[in-house]
Structure 1
């Protein structure tokens, strides 16, 4: 039998073919099975639209919500000031110049209606008393003369013109007596005249003395300057100054929360009065809210801030996190198709808590990115 011998070149060729066969098998298996995952882009730009691929990690990061119309009562804040009730505050003056004889009430003293506050010795008061006395005497004389002329006329002794003259004299004396008496009453004189020319000023309301500008013995010659101020501060007003742009949002009965600089806790009130005219200098209108103040916590002159709720209206509210700032513009990303978004520029209104009103740029029912939308702002 002949022995077969395999040479070295043939062996090498056989090994090469085996290697190629294994490589081919490997390529076949790779194509037959699942290909290795390639890098997936997180975000794809398609013109003005942004598309998030299926394998993008952004799908797990973003939160998308629909927005609906709801009732909105936007708050707005106005500067305010505590004021005394004008109907419960009286600034008292001396009706005539004179020397202050006595002051019966001091600062902080409680006052009842009719209590004597101060007395002034005024020379003109004595003159007014004398004029009243003369007018009363002339009236008495004219009354007696008229009665006498009427008796004579009944006896056909007096002429008719004498009766008429007596009647005219009586009417003139009566008018003068009324004028003199009214003058004394205006000056604060009690019935029976004003002996010695002394003016006694009494309080027209109950309250406390909150201002005193003179002392006993001083000469007071300014009839327009208040010598003493009496106020009832058991009721006060907090007055806010509203600008013209706020006028459409104001109405009587509107609820308000007042934060005073002096006290940490706010107080709640209600608008009772809205001014009919704007201040010519500040271009603002007064908004007054009454408050009970029996404990005296609210003192006229205190500074405060009044937060009022505007008239309720239908609108759109979105979370602040949904608004993306791009330069000077505010934008939100709106889902136009599943996982496809467009940037929409917004016009914003008032901020209410963690939300903000959208005046334009969105429609009810649209879905927007409400969380991590900044990831799309590339």
Structure 2
């Protein structure tokens, strides 16, 4: 076993020249390990502070800077990789004018059945929603006024018959020179007067729409003047109807209806008779219908500055009902317009603007007036000209 002297033990060094050669070689390594351990005890913050100093951090350039009214994107700015610029040009634009409208029945295809006299509603031959044909009986009434008119008509017819017989007798006597001329002329005048009275009584009946019928003299049948459906009912069977200005029922043929549209006077130049119209209904959002302009009004509403335009549209399924709201579109002629992608427009509080490329990564903010939009493109009415270049993507980063 090796034995050490007291002065050579590893735990009590007395100088490097006195140490064992192996211990002398190991001493620098041990010192390095001690230094690393002390650094670990000091923590990561002190270590990083010792490594990363302000002298080694590279400054970042500003994304944009201003030069007067221009926005400049300097070299090295990340915005240079994100902005997209395109040249704008004239493009064909097909616009569709839109106007509010209300559905109406054709006037000659909607009849309000109003009895011309007061009376009892003996029978209602049809109910609400029933289909009727022209000439079908709708209402049977019993009216004292009709009875009086028929009595007058019968009296006038009887008087006419008597006057004709008397005239024939007097003429026969006058021809054989038995009757005096004055008697013949009196019979002739009486016949003319009786004929006038009979015609007046017949006209009165015709005005009431009551034909001479057998049976009850007060019976009166109201017939439908058109084919269609009963769309309104006001009276009840057995009740008394005394308002000659109100309708008992309404019959309408709605297989074709009108749309009454209010077209702004500024759009009137693009609407003509015979033009196709596109119809959208609030009640049926997915239903698209077509119609034709039938009439363009002659007068301008001074309150709304609009003109009434009538559009005829087929309604075979009966979905369109009078009183419904709709919107009617009219295709205007295609025109050349300055168009930009809608993504290029930046909406401010009071205006819409775009960024115009002035070259050298300089951009000018410019207010524009926007017109019609279609297929992701917007019409520019003022503020831009064809051939200019604008930021079409990423413009919001320049604000």
Same fold (TM over 0.5): yes
- Rounded Cα–Cα distance in structure 2 between residues aligned with 1:159 and 1:73: 92
Q: 1:356 aligns with which of 365, 378, 381?
A: 378
- Alignment RMSD (CA, Å): 3.2
Give the match's secondary structure for 1:196: coil
Do the aligned residues in 2 keep the contact of 1:73 with 1:311 (CA within 8 Å)? Answer: yes
Q: 2:113 aligns with which of 92, 98, 107?
A: 92
Do the aligned residues in 1 keep the contact of 2:292 with 2:313 (CA within 8 Å)? Answer: no
Q: 1:173 aligns with which of 194, 204, 207?
A: 194
Is residue 2:248 matched to residue 1:219? Answer: no
Distance 1:175-1:338 versus aligned 2 partners, 3 A rule = farther
TM-score, with length taken from structure 1: 0.77
In structure 1, runs of 5+ residues without a counterpart are: 1-36
Distance 1:334-1:146 versus aligned 2 partners, 3 A rule = farther
Give the match's secondary structure for 2:163: helix
- Rounded Cα–Cα distance in structure 2 between residues aligned with 1:280 and 1:128: 50
TM-score, with length taken from structure 2: 0.73
Q: CA deviation at 1:122?
A: 0.6
- Total equivalences in the alignment: 341
Structure-2 residue corresponding to 1:200: 221
- Rounded Cα–Cα distance in structure 2 between residues aligned with 1:319 and 1:121: 74
Structure-2 residue corresponding to 1:270: 291
Q: 1:345 aligns with which of 347, 350, 367?
A: 367
Structure-1 residue corresponding to 2:345: 323
Q: Which whole-Å deviations, capped at 9, do the CAs of 1:37-59 have from their partners, x for residues lacking one? A: 99666545443344545655444
Is residue 2:396 matched to residue 1:374? Answer: yes
Structure-1 residue corresponding to 2:151: 130
In structure 2, runs of 5+ residues without a counterpart are: 1-57
- Equivalence map 1:284-323=2 (5 Å): 285-323=307-345
Do the aligned residues in 1 keep the contact of 2:129 with 2:229 (CA within 8 Å)? Answer: yes
Do the aligned residues in 2 keep the contact of 1:329 with 1:345 (CA within 8 Å)? Answer: yes
Distance 1:353-1:119 versus aligned 2 partners, 3 A rule = same
- Rounded Cα–Cα distance in structure 2 between residues aligned with 1:101 and 1:109: 19
Q: CA deviation at 1:372?
A: 1.5
Structure-1 residue corresponding to 2:123: 102
- Rounded Cα–Cα distance in structure 1 between residues aligned with 2:183 and 2:334: 81
Do the aligned residues in 2 keep the contact of 1:271 with 1:287 (CA within 8 Å)? Answer: no
- Equivalence map 1:109-148=2 (5 Å): 109-148=130-169
Structure-2 residue corresponding to 1:20: none
When Rg is computed on C-alpha atoms for both structures, the one with the higher figure is 2
Q: 1:229 aligns with which of 240, 243, 250?
A: 250
Q: CA deviation at 1:281?
A: 7.3
Q: CA deviation at 1:137?
A: 2.4
- Rounded Cα–Cα distance in structure 1 between residues aligned with 2:301 and 2:152: 46
Do the aligned residues in 1 keep the contact of 2:343 with 2:392 (CA within 8 Å)? Answer: yes
Distance 1:363-1:286 versus aligned 2 partners, 3 A rule = same
Do the aligned residues in 2 keep the contact of 1:101 with 1:119 (CA within 8 Å)? Answer: yes
Q: CA deviation at 1:111?
A: 1.1
- Rounded Cα–Cα distance in structure 1 between residues aligned with 2:301 and 2:72: 56
